[in-house]
Amino acid sequence: MEFTIQDAVKQMLQIVKQLQSAYPKKKFTIDGRLVCDLGEILVEDTYDVELHENLQKHYDGIMSDG
């Protein structure tokens, strides 16, 4: 089976839509932020961090203990 760039992009865009639906605070754009947004979601879930909805200077969220 041949795997094309077009197929890959279609799959990525579908995955991005699913991620945006599951985690509406992040955009998951495929311009380089995708990897950062994925990392932030993992940190949010693992370390009990509440991510800010918009970009903030110096930090991306706040821990549950302040």
Angle at 34 between CA 25 and CA 37, to 5 degrees: 40
Taking Cα atoms as reference points, which of 28, 32, 27, 62 lies closest to residue 47?
Answer: 62
pLDDT tens column, 4-62: 878 888 999 999 999 999 999 888 888 877 788 888 888 888 898 998 888 788 888 88
Domain extent, residue 45, equals 31-66
- Domain presence at residue 59: yes
- Domain presence at residue 10: no
Count of structural domains within the chain: 1
Q: Please give the pLDDT value at position 20.
A: 94
Phi, psi of 32, rounded to the nearest 5 degrees: 120, -20
Strand, coil or helix: what is 11? helix
pTM, 2 dp: 0.61
The letter for the amino acid at 13 is L
Longest dimension (CA), the chain: 51
